[in-house]
Chains A and B, each alone.
Chain A
Amino acid sequence: MLEKAIVMAGCAVGAGLALIAGIGPGIGEGYAVGKACEAIGRQPESKGDVRSTMLLGCAIAETTGIYGFVTGLLLIFVAPGIFINLL
């Protein structure tokens, strides 16, 4: 009983820690969008190109945040079943 509790607690705490990875893309993409706004302010005709490039760069920078999110999801929904069967 205690081992099950420890396993569940470990999974929950791990999921919470995994989502700290969300800080990185937040800061990075915010900075990128700020630079894009500066660029549009400097040259308004380049709005379309700047916007597409910014969206593309943001989607690639999102990757590590998605890694953390998928790890958190796996820890909540998949890991307890596997670990409890191993006990």
Chain B
Amino acid sequence: MNVDITGARIYFTIPVFGGIPITETITNSWLVMALVTGLCIYLTRNLKVKATSRRQIIAEYLVETAQKFVNENMGQKFAYYGPFVAALFCLSVLSSLLSLFGLYPPTSDLSTTMAWAILVFVLITYTKIRHGGIGGYLKGFTQPIFILTPFNILSEVATPISMAFRHFGNIVSGGVISTLVYASLAVASKALLGLLPGMVGQFLSNIPILQVGIPAILSLYFDLFSSVMQAFIFCMLTTLYIANAASDD
């Protein structure tokens, strides 16, 4: 069987500043952005003070859930992080769920998740510096013992790397396993239908009949559950790290 597992395809290259490649990741991210914007515009049309339409009740429920999540994990003083965390969750979930439609999910590319992780790392560092000043930030690496400084620096650098790789690894492993399962089911159905005698067998063995239904069971875990879980974990780690950066212990 010939399996083709590669990264994102490059569609074309803008010949500016030495070539900016427009890859599948970028175009599918545009699609996700359009989806999120369209959803927001659809949910916020014709709002009334007292919620009567079903659309407004759903919109209020979503906003309340996001705000409650941020308040529980970060406390009341960080309530302004609500929109950021909700946006991160929506982008992550919809990007990963694109694999249900046969498209290439943008979170299957390390660039996407690493960009989000670096953004969160900048926020954590900013919160730490705002909380204790630059002196307090640098001194925090030498707590509790001075010898532990290289390990503290290492764990600080490992934070965005582990967040990015966790998200990327889960989504890309789902994609790779789906590809391998499809290829092996094609080979299995060719062998099975080739057992039929004569021309019927030769004709039918080109139809991969075993590919119907069986990958859907795997896709329940790898596409649906894993996408929502990884997005939720990314957001929860964001809130916990930022709340931890502003506390005194």
Contacts and interface: CB of A to CB of B under 8 A. Distances in A.
Interface of A: 55-56, 59-60, 62-63, 66-67, 69-70, 73, 77
A66 B170 contact: yes
Contacts of A77: 5-6
Interface in B165-191: 165-166, 168-170, 172-173, 176
Contacts of B173: 66, 69-70, 73
Interface string B203-245: 0000000000000000000000000011011001100000000
9 contacts: A56-B233, A60-B166, A62-B166, A66-B165, A66-B169, A66-B170, A66-B173, A69-B169, A70-B165
A50 to B, nearest CB: 17
A77 B166 CA distance: 20
A55 B229 contact: yes
A66 B236 contact: no
B165 A59 contact: no
B44 interface: no
B230 A70 contact: no
Nearest 9 pairs between A and B by C-beta? A66-B169, A70-B169, A63-B166, A59-B233, A77-B5, A59-B229, A69-B173, A63-B162, A66-B170
